[in-house]
Structure 1
Amino acid sequence: MTHRLARLLATRDWILADGATGTNLYNMGLASGDAPDLWCETHPERVSALHRQMIAAGADLILTNSFGANASRLRLAGAQDRVQVLNLAAARLARAEADAAGREVVVAGSIGPTGEIMAPIGRLTEAEAVRMFTQQAEALKQGGVDLLWVETISAAEEMRAAAKAAQAVGLPWCGMMSFEPGGRSVMGVSPPQLATLIDRLPCPPLAYGANCGTGPAELLLAVSGFSAAGCERALIAKPNAGVPRYQDGGLIYDATPEVMAEFAVLARDLGVRIIGGCCGTTPEHLSAMRAALQSRPQGARPSPEAISSRIAALMPDR
């Protein structure tokens, strides 16, 4: 069976993934500290509206509003018994908007970290992590997602557990780690180490890469490190839209649509196949990114110095 994302990767030079879910929902009224995933039941019309806005801005791939909908993270909201219901709702909301788009749009079931530290450093065992991820993945599959989108992971053990969950439910998947400004994840994994891990998994992903953690320049520098391990799978880059600040009752990130458009072109020229944005990336950012990708010709592979200087030149003064 050829999956929808695999078909697009076989026929397209780049695929535009969507922007932020959580930060956009906060700006749509989600209270600080509340779990965005619960809005799939309490405010489904707002979740659907965000999906529509991302598709209208040009997204070829949208994420379900289920990043924190695993039993461990939902326990913080007293909703640990609602994993199946919330993930099913999240998948159905995204699927409905994708199917109504009038063009092919991939629905990716968002799975974030458990929020716990994996053994041997922490107490969460691999078997427990696999169980939690599988519970979430089964509901997302039932709701109609095309694949699983494992993101913002920091530990190799947790990435392996998510891969086993994808294998258990029989869905293709993509995997991303979040890297800090120093170039490693919170748990010390470097980009070359992630690339090596991905190739050795018993159920490797369709694509892998980096998301969140840093702004566009820093994330692209991390992505450039994947080539050091020789892994040739499709790459993903989904950075935050810069650094946030609180303004007019909402979170505003300092990377303008022009900055994110430059990031998108640099990512494409670096060889990234799936390009999007994480925290702070609005439909306006996404629209500028698509316009730049469509209008600007393919360029030479940018050096680390070119990445830093071209992004810095467009960043507003803080």
Structure 2
Amino acid sequence: METDLLFTQGFDLPGFASYPLLETTAGRRQLRAYYEDLIALARDKDVGAILEAPTWVANRDRGAQIGYEPATLVERNTQAVAFLSEICADHDDVPVLTSGNVGPRADAYAPTEQMNAAQAEAYHIEQINVLAQAGIHLISAYTIAYTEEAIGIVNAARQCGVPVVVAFTVETDGRLPTGVSLGQAIKAVDNATDGYSAYFMINCAHPDHFQHVLSDASWMARLKGLVVNASRCSHAELDQSTKLDDGDPVELGQQLAALHRNYPNIRVLGGCCGTDMRHMAEIASAFQGGKLVP
């Protein structure tokens, strides 16, 4: 959503933050359009939808970088949940989950200052508790680059009594930015948290970057979602990009359909950098009632 807002919708997103859009009529209108388009697609294809709150960088450190005080961040996180709940109430004919989107404390692509698990739990519980108290259905930790931060987020969610999903990002070699393999990361988080995560995902990577690491290994049973980039660019290339690379929506849908066919437990699909509703429609067109179209 954020890359589309920046590059094609003309919105300014300081610090890549979309939650400030909640403060204006135009911003709220644009956010609502995204969510209602997704619900309409889910209705048409007879599947469910997960609505991600615009709160990926609505944490203390990332908020401070663009001038937001902790008290204001509490308001925006709470407001985001109320906004999603209002939209869900308007479309109660479609199964919809609201997700509190939580991002890394620092740069996901270059996690040079890493926390230990206890530090990560203490840091992230501030935002997660606000989202949980506001009535969010689940927490989704996106673009997580190292296991200790993931462990801290999962433990924070457990303390707050809310389900949690962890989405790791990987580089073009299919490994986390720290060099850890995806399987090792998933097993480490599960071992340290008694398997509390509802499931794991991969996000902010093109299928070409990770499909070669998927296998019949036991950890694959815990991988149930792919939220992918349209672009084949590396993270470093995306950081330097001045124009949107929207890839090939049809090809992307076909790639995800093939991955689902090979690994049927992967049933949560979505778009990350460079994607828009064209990509979502192509992805969803391969699924009717939760099954692949022949």
Task: Select the residue among 130, 133, 138 that pairs with 1:142.
Answer: 133
Give the distance between the partners of 1:204 and 1:231, measured in 2 at CA. Answer: 16
The structure with higher relative contact order (CA 8 Å, sep 6+) is 1
Whether 1:41 aligns to 2:32 is: no
The answer to which of 138-147 and 236-245 deviates more is: 236-245
Deviation at 1:256, TM superposition (A): 2.3
Structure 1 partner of 2:202: 210
Whether 1:260 aligns to 2:260 is: no
Distance 1:132 1:40, change over 3 A: farther
Structure 2 partner of 1:96: 86
Kindly provide the CA deviation profile for residues 125-151 of structure 1, in whole angstroms up to 9, marking residues without a partner as x.
Answer: 544422331111122123322100011
Give the distance between the partners of 1:234 and 1:243, measured in 2 at CA. Answer: 21
CA contact (8 A) 1:167 1:203 kept: no
Give SS of 2:178's match.
coil
Give the distance between the partners of 1:93 and 1:295, measured in 2 at CA. Answer: 28
Task: Select the residue among 58, 78, 100 that pairs with 1:69.
Answer: 58
Structure 2 partner of 1:277: 271
Give SS of 2:51's match.
strand
Note the residue ranges of structure 1 that are not aligned, 5 or more in a row.
Answer: 1-20, 300-318
Whether 1:294 aligns to 2:288 is: yes
Structure 1 partner of 2:45: none
> Following superposition, which runs of at least 4 residues in structure 1 exceed 4 angstroms of deviation?
243-246, 295-299
TM-score normalised according to structure 1 size: 0.76
Task: Select the residue among 217, 239, 243 that pairs with 2:228.
Answer: 239
Deviation at 1:282, TM superposition (A): 0.8
Deviation at 1:92, TM superposition (A): 1.6
Give SS of 1:259's match.
helix
The answer to which of 85-94 and 228-237 deviates more is: 228-237
CA contact (8 A) 1:209 1:237 kept: yes
Structure 2 partner of 1:109: 100
The answer to which of 275-284 and 152-161 deviates more is: 275-284
The answer to which of 101-110 and 28-37 deviates more is: 28-37
CA contact (8 A) 1:66 1:111 kept: yes
Structure 2 partner of 1:3: none
Distance 1:56 1:188, change over 3 A: same
TM-score normalised according to structure 2 size: 0.82
Give the distance between the partners of 2:153 and 2:119, measured in 1 at CA. Answer: 11
Give the distance between the partners of 1:219 and 1:203, measured in 2 at CA. Answer: 23
Whether 1:28 aligns to 2:14 is: no
CA contact (8 A) 1:37 1:86 kept: yes
The answer to which of 50-59 and 71-80 deviates more is: 50-59
CA contact (8 A) 1:150 1:162 kept: yes
CA contact (8 A) 2:115 2:148 kept: no
Letter in 2 for 1:153: I
Give the distance between the partners of 2:255 and 2:114, measured in 1 at CA. Answer: 38
Give SS of 1:185's match.
coil
Give the distance between the partners of 2:186 and 2:150, measured in 1 at CA. Answer: 12
Letter in 2 for 1:36: S
Structure 2 partner of 1:174: 165
The percent identity for this pair of structures is 23
Deviation at 1:88, TM superposition (A): 0.9
